[in-house]
Amino acid sequence: MSAPPSSDESLATLDRELARGLDLVARASSVEDVEDAQTSLFGRKAPFAVVERALGSLPEDERRRVGQRTNEVRARLKAAITERRQALESERETAVLELDRIDVTLPGRRLRAGSLHPLTIVQQEIVEIFTRMGYRVVEGPEVEDEWHNFDALNIQPDHPARTMMDTTYLSVPGHPELLLRAHTSPMQIRTMQAEPPPVYVVVPGRVFRNEAITAKNMPVFHQVEGLAVDKGIRFSDLKGTVESFLRELLGADLRVRMTPSFFPFVEPGAQFDVSCFVCGGSGCKTCAFVGWIETMGAGMVHPRVLENVGYNPERYTGFAFGMGYDRLAMIRFGIPDIRILWESDVRFLEQFEGVG
C-alpha cells in the first residue's frame, strides 16, 4: 500500500480532478455519459476518494485547508453534473415530444366503413315498402313444431314436404315434432293465434330445406311472409299489392306474371314470377331456360286455416304470400348465382358500399 498523499499532492489532485471533471461533464452528450462521469469522479477508487480518505492523516491546519478545498471542488463538480443532467433530460424530452407531435392541421385518415350485405339491404327495402303500406313487422322462431309448420297450414300428413327428404327434423329426445322451419308461413298461424283480426304483418326470416345447391337454390335461404286478414279482402287486393310492391322494389318497367299454383293453405293459390334479369326472357342458366324467375307463392288464406286459429271465415278473408328474397336480391342487383351471396368475397361485398 502506498503512503497517503501530502497536502500539496492532494491540492494538486483536486485541481486536476476539477478540470478533468468539468471537461468530462461538458462533453457528456447523454444522461448515461453524465452517470459515467459521476462514477469516474466520485467512485471508490477515484483520485477524489483517495484525497478524502487521506484527510485523516494530515496535520490539523492542513486538514482544514485541504478539507475546505475538497468541499469546494465536490460542490462545483456536483453542481456541474446536476446542471448537465437536467439540460440533457430536457433535451431528451423535447426530442420525444417532437417525435410524437400531432399536426392537427393535417387532413384526417378516412376510416373505411363496411357495407351492408345485399341480403340485408333487400330485406330492409322490402320491410320499408310494406310498413309504408301499413304492415307491421314480426319475427318468429327458426325451430318450429310440425303443427305450426304443417298441420295448422292444412298440409296433410302424407304431403311430400313432411318427409325427412325435404325437411330438417331435430333430434331432441321427447320432441319428435321439432324441426327447422321450412318456410315463414308458420308465423301466419302464430300471429293469428296471438291477436284478433284485422291483421297486416310481414315476417322476414331464415328458412331451411333439405335441397340441392344450384344457381338459384340453397338449403338455407330467406323469406318474407306477408299476411293481410280483414273484412272484405279480395283476390284483386293480393294482385294489386304484390304487383305494386314488385315494381317499387325492382323497377317500374319490370314484367310481372301471375300464374295459378297450389299450396294447401290457400284457395285459390298463385305464383308471381318476374322476367329474367339476365336474359330478359329468352332463357338462360340463371332462369333454368324458362325466361321467368319465380319470386313468391301466394293466395287467399284457406278457410280451414282461419278456422284452425279461431277466426270466422264467414266474416273475414285474407291473402298471404311468401317471397324468397335471396332471389329478389339477385334480381335487384343482377347477381347471376345465389351462391355468391354466401361466399363473403370482399371484392363482391365492397360493391355495396353506400347502398342501402
Residues contacting ligand YSA: total by CB under 6 A: 24
> Measured between alpha carbons, how far is 295 from 83 in angstroms, rounded to an integer?
84
| Four-CA torsion 240, 246, 251, 255, nearest 10 degrees | -80
| Span near ligand YSA by CB under 6 A; candidates 49-57, 109-117, 293-301, 342-350 | 293-301
Cα-based distances in Å from 332 to 267, 319, 321: 30, 25, 19
Handedness of CA 31, 32, 36, 42 (dihedral sign): positive
Q: Among residues 289 and 342, whose Cβ is nearest to ligand YSA?
A: 342
> Measured between alpha carbons, how far is 135 from 207 in angstroms, rounded to an integer?
21
> Measured between alpha carbons, how far is 290 from 282 in angstroms, rounded to an integer?
7
| Span near ligand YSA by CB under 6 A; candidates 14-22, 113-121, 130-138, 294-302 | 294-302
Residues 263-282 that bind ligand YSA (CB under 6 A): 263, 265-266
Single out the residue of 211, 230, 237, 243 in contact with ligand YSA (rule: CB under 6 A).
211
Single out the residue of 296, 309, 329, 341 in contact with ligand YSA (rule: CB under 6 A).
296
Handedness of CA 37, 43, 46, 48 (dihedral sign): positive
Residue with cell 338462360: 284
CB of 117 to ligand YSA, least distance (A): 16
275 three-class SS? strand
Q: Among residues 192 and 296, whose Cβ is nearest to ligand YSA?
A: 296
CB of 337 to ligand YSA, least distance (A): 12
Q: Is 299 in the site for ligand YSA (CB under 6 A)?
A: yes
Binding mask 306-345 for ligand YSA (x = CB under 6 A): --------------xxxxx-xx------------------
Q: Among residues 54 and 274, whose Cβ is nearest to ligand YSA?
A: 274
CB of 242 closer than 8 Å to CB of 320: no
Q: Is 200 in the site for ligand YSA (CB under 6 A)?
A: no
Single out the residue of 84, 148, 162, 209 in contact with ligand YSA (rule: CB under 6 A).
209
| Span near ligand YSA by CB under 6 A; candidates 7-15, 67-75, 94-102, 213-221 | 213-221
Q: Among residues 48 and 208, whose Cβ is nearest to ligand YSA?
A: 208
For residue 315 the three cell numbers come to 266474416
| Span near ligand YSA by CB under 6 A; candidates 29-37, 43-51, 104-112, 261-269 | 261-269
> Measured between alpha carbons, how far is 225 from 199 in angstroms, rounded to an integer?
13
> Measured between alpha carbons, how far is 148 from 304 in angstroms, rounded to an integer?
14
CB of 173 to ligand YSA, least distance (A): 29
CB of 225 to ligand YSA, least distance (A): 6
| Four-CA torsion 209, 213, 218, 220, nearest 10 degrees | 50
Exposed/middle/buried for residue 233 (C-beta within 10 Å: 0-12, 13-18, 19+): buried
Q: Is 204 in the site for ligand YSA (CB under 6 A)?
A: no
Q: Among residues 88 and 254, whose Cβ is nearest to ligand YSA?
A: 254
Q: How many helices (H) and strands (E) does the chain have?
A: 11, 9
Task: Give the DSSP letter of residue 3.
Answer: P
Q: Is 218 in the site for ligand YSA (CB under 6 A)?
A: yes
| Span near ligand YSA by CB under 6 A; candidates 3-11, 43-51, 191-199, 215-223 | 215-223
Query: Where do contacts with ligand YSA occur on this chain (CB under 6 A)?
Result: 183, 185, 209, 211, 217-218, 221, 223, 263, 265-266, 294-299, 320-324, 326-327
